[in-house]
């Protein structure tokens, strides 16, 4: 029975998503409770799955009993199970929040709204567990299609952003598929474990190198690594307030996770192509992204765009972490990935609540929160501490392990990039707090009182989660080091 | 260098793939009309499907259908069926993407009354 847990994790949100349109015909108000029950059950199962994986080793699930190299395989190892726990817990918080802010702007589209969110979550589950390159492509596209529709669901300007996201996202997926084609043509297999045996000796083959490049560019668009990030700020800014946190925390991170899988589980960490270590190249890209992303965040006045660029710089930091090529850096990078997913949720919760309650879209309007929303301001202080990296929040420990890994690898360039990006992050949060505490805003005319208890609870929960991640960083990183490392690191 | 160019001309189907891909990409990047962008996107996707089919083909091979249940299977006489199966899935994904994108374009047109990108951006800023 316990072998079926990964599939159960996929089926829970997927079957609920399929049944929602039917239930929603008669009982529209049932959608939210049903979705919440499905993701809550999912988080319980994901914890059970993690415990099973810890005690009995990784689960390899062959669909319909077809043995792996020919059939489709799902792999639930330590890394995937941890990611799954983070994904399902974040999905619960996000769905809870999505119900608070949505109804006003959605009208009759509540049923497709919840259906799409659940489809997105089930597709992300598929990407995390997939042990097959083509399977990753299919789930990437399912997640992306749900994402395009969710960005555009509010109408208005968001439609344009959704269209841009669609054009670039589809180009990314096509390039990824092309890369998969090259890999298949060169090796005759698509299964990751099987590829891992054949690829290392084929690294001189042009087909493998070009295929790898195409896959990287494709996933790079999906994860919004710096030069390929064009779709992201607009999509996050124009997406409905309740959707931005979901996209920001989960979609890009899971695409990055898929790249980590290919990089470490298919290609192998020490891979060298034409005398250039692939990891070193990746580290340079990460460093560029982390510094330029933070710099661009500093130049923004729109709160959501600022946080979106902040997220881009953090993607860079994660890439630096995993590309250091030693266990400390890898565990730090993965820990930072989970931490960043929580941080992005928290920041966009704040931004969404500020727009919903006070109509504050730019940092010049933020002054109207002063003295009115102590919960939100307090939450924002914790989030900023985590973004900049003060103890005892998760952000500090993530950066700590990344820098430790960089020092271990004697990669002082990476240390410098992390520090510069940290200083720039501090700078844009100082700018934010300056406006919040000292600037007199132009009244927007929107003021919905002190905010409902549920809104306070959701902002409070994610802020508390940042501190919990910090306090528990030692066991989490210890676990990652013990059972989530790739074999050839 | 000459040998390289010569080897390209021995694989006309791959050249066709490259031309289709770049053509679609060019349309996607240069045109301002949203529907034309979609057409470019569709050509890019189709070119990749063409690529999958192209590399599964072999000289003198036939469709992968077993003609006799008793004779031993000879792989070299059949075209590789797996890329075709992947292609089917990719086509399904492509159709879904096209559906979503057309729905988006339709609602953009209803909202802003234009399909030209510059015109839409101008109207959305008003």
Instruction: Give the tokens for residue A482.
Output: 């013990």
Length of chain A (residues): 489
pLDDT band at A320 (very low <50, low <70, confident <90, very high): very high
Q: Is the pLDDT of residue A104 over 70?
A: no
CB neighbour list of residue A284: distance below 8 Å, 6 or more residues apart: A413
Residue A202 is given by DSSP the state: G
CB A379 within 8 A of CB A458: no
Selected for mutation to probe chain A from B8, B45, B97 (highest A CB count within 10 Å) is: B97
- The beta-carbon neighbor of A159 closest among B44, B45, B108 is B108
Contacts of A138 in chain B (CB under 8 A): 89, 93
pLDDT band at B9 (very low <50, low <70, confident <90, very high): confident
pLDDT of A103: 56
**Cα R_g (chain B), whole angstroms:** 21
ipTM: 0.93
- The beta-carbon neighbor of B104 closest among A157, A159, A177 is A159
- Give how far B101 is from chain A: nearest CA, Å: 7
Q: Is the pLDDT of residue B17 over 60?
A: yes
Chain B residue nearest residue A138, CA to CA:
B93
CB A190 within 8 A of CB A223: no
CB A369 within 8 A of CB A377: yes
Q: Is the pLDDT of residue A403 over 90?
A: yes
Selected for mutation to probe chain A from B41, B43, B90 (highest A CB count within 10 Å) is: B90
Q: Across the interface, do B104 and A148 touch by the CB < 8 Å criterion?
A: yes
Which of A244-248, A365-369, A439-443 shows the lowest mean pLDDT across its residues? A439-443
Contacts of A152 in chain B (CB under 8 A): 104, 107
Is the pLDDT higher at A274 or at A139?
A: A139
3-state helix, strand, coil in chain B (%, to 5): 75, 5, 20
Chain B residue nearest residue A184, CA to CA:
B83
CB A394 within 8 A of CB A337: no
Q: Is the pLDDT of residue A352 over 80?
A: yes
Q: What is the mean pLDDT of chain A?
A: 89
In angstroms, the Cα distances linking B1 to B5, B6, B7 are 6, 9, 10
Selected for mutation to probe chain A from B104, B108, B111, B112 (highest A CB count within 10 Å) is: B104
In angstroms, the Cα distances linking A197 to A179, A180, A182, A237 are 18, 16, 17, 43
∠ CA A205-A207-A213, rounded to 5°: 110
User: Is the Cα torsion angle A371, A372, A373, A377 positive or negative in sign?
Assistant: negative
Q: Across the interface, do A157 and B100 touch by the CB < 8 Å criterion?
A: no
**pLDDT tens column, B77-120:** 888 888 888 999 999 999 999 999 999 999 999 988 888 888 88
pLDDT of A443: 65
All domains of chain B in start order, with CATH: 2-58+76-125 (1.10.287.3510)
Chain A residue nearest residue B103, CA to CA:
A149
pLDDT of B96: 93
pLDDT of A419: 93
Is the pLDDT higher at A273 or at A130?
A: A130
In angstroms, the Cα distances linking A31 to A22, A36, A39, A45, A64 are 10, 9, 12, 21, 32
**Cα R_g (chain A), whole angstroms:** 21
Selected for mutation to probe chain A from B25, B52, B100 (highest A CB count within 10 Å) is: B100
CB neighbour list of residue B125: distance below 8 Å, 6 or more residues apart: none
CB neighbour list of residue A167: distance below 8 Å, 6 or more residues apart: B28, B37, B41, B101
**pLDDT tens column, B35-62:** 999 999 999 999 999 999 888 888 888 8
Q: Is the pLDDT of residue A50 over 80?
A: yes
What are the beta bridge partners of residue A61? A74
Please report, rounded to a whole number, the percentage of residues in chain A having pLDDT higher than 90: 54
What does pTM read for this prediction?
0.93
CB A101 within 8 A of CB A352: yes
- The beta-carbon neighbor of B90 closest among A162, A166, A177 is A177
Instruction: Give the tokens for residue B74.
Output: 């000879």
Contacts of B55 in chain A (CB under 8 A): 181, 185
Q: Is the pLDDT of residue A347 over 70?
A: yes
Q: Across the interface, do B37 and A141 touch by the CB < 8 Å criterion?
A: no
Q: Is the pLDDT of residue A168 over 90?
A: yes
Comparing CA positions, the residue from A18, A6, A158, A162 lying closest to residue A84 is A6
- Give how far A158 is from chain B: nearest CA, Å: 10
**pLDDT tens column, A441-453:** 766 666 666 567 8
- The helix (run of H) or strand (run of E) holding residue A277 is strand A276-277
């Amino acid at each position: 029975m316990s072998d079926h847990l990964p599939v159960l994790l996929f089926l829970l949100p997927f079957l609920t998503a399929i049944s929602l349109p039917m239930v929603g015909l008669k009982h529209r108000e049932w959608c939210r409770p049903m979705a919440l029950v499905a993701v809550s059950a999912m988080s319980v199962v994901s914890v059970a799955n993690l415990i099973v994986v810890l005690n009995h080793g990784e689960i390899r699930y062959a669909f319909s009993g077809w043995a792996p190299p020919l059939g489709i395989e799902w792999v639930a190892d330590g890394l995937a199970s941890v990611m799954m726990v983070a994904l399902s817990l974040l999905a619960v918080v996000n769905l809870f929040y999505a119900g608070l802010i949505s109804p006003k702007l959605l009208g009759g589209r509540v049923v497709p709204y919840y259906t799409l969110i659940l489809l997105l979550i089930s597709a992300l589950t598929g990407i995390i567990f997939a042990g097959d390159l083509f399977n990753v492509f299919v789930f990437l596209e399912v997640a992306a299609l749900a994402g395009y529709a969710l960005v555009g669901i509010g109408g208005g300007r968001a439609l344009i952003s959704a269209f841009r996201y669609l054009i670039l996202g589809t180009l990314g997926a096509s390039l990824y598929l092309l890369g998969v084609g090259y890999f298949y043509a060169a090796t005759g297999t698509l299964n990751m474990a099987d590829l891992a045996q054949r690829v290392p000796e084929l690294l001189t083959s042009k087909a493998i190198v070009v295929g790898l490049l195409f896959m990287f560019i494709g996933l790079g668009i999906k994860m919004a690594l710096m030069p390929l990030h064009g779709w992201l700020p607009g999509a996050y800014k124009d997406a409905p307030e309740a959707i931005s946190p979901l996209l920001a925390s989960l979609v890009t991170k899971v695409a990055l996770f898929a790249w980590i899988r290919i990089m470490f589980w298919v290609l192998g960490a020490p891979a060298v192509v034409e005398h250039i270590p692939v990891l070193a190249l990746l580290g340079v890209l990460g460093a560029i992204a982390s510094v330029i992303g933070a710099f661009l965040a500093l130049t923004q006045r729109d709160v959501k765009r600022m946080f979106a660029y902040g997220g881009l710089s953090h993607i860079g930091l994660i890439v630096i972490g995993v590309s250091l090529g030693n266990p400390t850096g890898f565990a730090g990078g993965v820990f930072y990935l989970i931490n960043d997913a929580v941080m992005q949720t928290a920041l966009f919760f704040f931004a969404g609540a500020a727009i919903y309650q006070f109509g504050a879209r730019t940092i010049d309007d933020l002054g109207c929160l002063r003295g009115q929303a102590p919960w939100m301001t307090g939450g924002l202080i914790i989030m900023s501490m985590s973004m900049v990296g003060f103890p005892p929040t998760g952000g500090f420990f993530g950066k700590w392990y990344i820098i430790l890994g960089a020092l271990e690898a004697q990669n002082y360039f990476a240390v410098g990039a992390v520090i510069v990006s940290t200083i720039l992050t501090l700078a844009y949060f100082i700018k934010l707090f300056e406006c919040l505490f000292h600037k007199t805003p132009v009244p927007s005319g929107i003021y919905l009182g002190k905010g409902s208890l549920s809104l306070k609870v959701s902002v409070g929960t994610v802020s508390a989660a940042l501190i919990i991640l910090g306090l528990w960083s030692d066991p989490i990183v210890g676990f990652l080091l013990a059972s989530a490392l790739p074999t050839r690191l | 260098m000459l040998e390289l160019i010569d080897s390209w001309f021995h694989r006309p189907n791959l050249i066709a793939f490259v031309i289709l891909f770049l053509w679609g990409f060019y349309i996607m990047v240069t045109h301002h009309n949203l529907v034309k962008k979609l057409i470019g996107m569709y050509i890019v996707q189709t070119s990749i499907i063409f690529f999958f089919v192209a590399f599964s083909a072999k000289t003198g091979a036939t469709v992968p259908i077993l003609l006799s249940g008793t004779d031993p299977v000879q792989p070299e006489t059949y075209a590789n069926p797996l890329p075709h199966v992947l292609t089917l899935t990719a086509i399904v994904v492509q159709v879904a993407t096209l559906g979503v994108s057309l729905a988006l374009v339709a609602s953009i047109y209803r909202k802003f009354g234009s399909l030209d990108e510059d015109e839409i951006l101008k109207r959305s800023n008003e």
